[in-house]
Amino acid sequence: MACFGLVILAFFIGQVSAAVSGSTSTVNREINGPTLIEETTFIVPNDYNDTTRPGTPGVLLDVNCTAYIPKLGPFSEKDMEYYISIVLLCGWRDERLPSPNNQSVMVDESYNNIWRPTIWPMVHADILKKEDLLYPVLHPGSVVYLMQRFDFRVPCLMQLYTYPHDRQMCSLILGFVGGIKVRWQASHYFQSDNSPIIISMPHVRSVFRIDQVDFNSFTLNVQSYGDTCIYQSGSCDYSGYDECLKMGIKCFKAENLNTTSCLKCLQKGGKCANETQDCSPYLDKVNPVGDFHTTLELRFVLSRSLGYQILHTYVPSFCVVAVSWISFWLDPASAPARTGLGVTTVLTMVTLSTKVRPAPELNYIRAIDIWVIGCKIFVVLALLEYAFVNYASRQTSKAPKSPVRTTDEGEAEKWKHSLDAKEESLDGTNDFQLPKLTFTGYKMAKKLDYVSRFLFPAGYIAFVITYFVVFTSVDQ
């Protein structure tokens, strides 16, 4: 994170010092009471009241914010939460402060602090860290910019019915209290001028891909959600950033910071579009107390990457099922080989299924569970198929293929009477007839193996196609 601090510091100081001539001398000048040091720094006077909101009493103060996300993830399906580090750059107008002359100056809070908006997370998010990255900066027109960093652990209720083909939506909601109208706005402090949400893509630690980020500004009454009104909504498309994930530590070397690829990846802004809505009746109800306030929302639309599951679940299980089909090409008389192969594939499939991440806290079956169960069924059926083949191969026909000729008249007469007792002729007599059945049990076993060679692969391929089509389309 030291590299991240240096990058942010470089961009922030660069904007502040762009208009400064380079002199560090201090020339004091009185402007309606406060002391303005013309070159670089403004010292907050002792009589400044940092507990009073600037602006006209009874009128909401406009606060515009930009979010820079230096770290996102990991997302945990087990704990239903994710981690995010966010740098929130907010600006507002404070007419109690002087307006610098065509330059930006740092605000020195050694003796007194300036007013800051009160920010607190919603939906039971935990604040792990909160700090001001730099001093507030005063711009011409008495506009103050403040950059704060927050580390959050945020709950995210995931629906895992189609796991691992699922798409999730995780939100971060920040409430601004104190009679403020807050909204998202792109900032000139970052490279992306048209996106209010900036993400450092090399620091995204997640099995998900970020498809888009929705942002909203709305009113919220903690006593009645019926008073919610979204007065700003938008969406940013972040697709096509795969190359950024391959950068790794490359973009944190000084010699690479100014390259085009690193600038785009370290401060990736999406293609954004937003719209506004008139919520005046609800904004009029916003009060300084905080029970009725305005809120910012970030909503991450995520789709899971299948690389891990393909390598560790789908391909191994597919291979195990395919190996079980070798049994159909072995001779039915090769009982040790076919039995050993069938039992091995069943045990291997059971072992693979134990490596699939369990979710006992979920009271429903996931897509990956259906896949594993289906593969188990196919390898078990392959083993049972040999049980039928082995049984059939040991059954002989109930009649000989040709009449038995013997010189022993007693044996011939005995054989003739035994056949007469079991079969009757078509005309109802007991005359001796030669049986016409010549299909032995061994041939039946071979026939069953022949049919299984095509039936099992066809059935499994149909299962695979149905599985991927259904669970991919259902989640979409």
Higher-confidence residue: 268 or 466? 466
Q: Is the pLDDT of residue 399 over 60?
A: no
Least confident of 73-82, 257-266, 343-352: 257-266
Q: pTM of the full predicted structure? A: 0.76
pLDDT of residue 62: 94
Integer Cα distance of 217 and 277 in angstroms: 10
Q: Domains in the chain, start-ordered, CATH in brackets? A: 26-305 (2.70.170.10), 308-398+438-475 (1.20.58.390)
pLDDT of residue 454: 95
Q: Report the pLDDT averaged over residues 220-227.
A: 84
Least confident of 325-334, 385-394, 407-416: 407-416
Distances (CA, A) of 470 to 101, 193, 343, 465: 64, 41, 31, 8
- For residue 379, give the nearest of 433, 322, 443 by alpha carbon: 322
Q: DSSP for 298-354, please give it.
A: EEEEEEE--HHHIIIIIHHHHHHHHHHGGGGGS-TT-HHHHHHHHHHHHHHHHHHHH
Percent of the chain whose predicted confidence (pLDDT) is above 90:
41
- For residue 162, give the nearest of 365, 444, 307, 330 by alpha carbon: 365
**pLDDT tens digits along 421-461:** 444 444 454 444 444 444 577 788 889 999 999 999 999 99
Q: Indicate the pLDDT class of residue 300, thresholds 50, 70 and 90.
A: very high
Question: Which residues, listed in sequence order, are joined to residue 283 by a DSSP beta bridge?
Answer: none
pLDDT of residue 173: 93
Integer Cα distance of 175 and 119 in angstroms: 6
Q: Is the pLDDT of residue 133 over 50?
A: yes
pLDDT of residue 219: 93
- For residue 354, count CB atoms less than 10 angstroms from its CB and return exposed for 0-12, middle for 13-18, buried for 19 or more: exposed
Q: Is the pLDDT of residue 413 over 70?
A: no
**pLDDT tens digits along 247-279:** 767 777 788 777 877 878 888 888 888 899 999
Mean pLDDT of the chain: 81
Other Cβ atoms within 10 Å of 420 Cβ, number: 15
Q: By the 8 A CB rule, do 25 and 37 touch?
A: no
pLDDT of residue 436: 47
Q: Indicate the pLDDT class of residue 287, thresholds 50, 70 and 90.
A: confident
Integer Cα distance of 157 and 170 in angstroms: 8
pLDDT of residue 41: 83
Higher-confidence residue: 283 or 441? 283
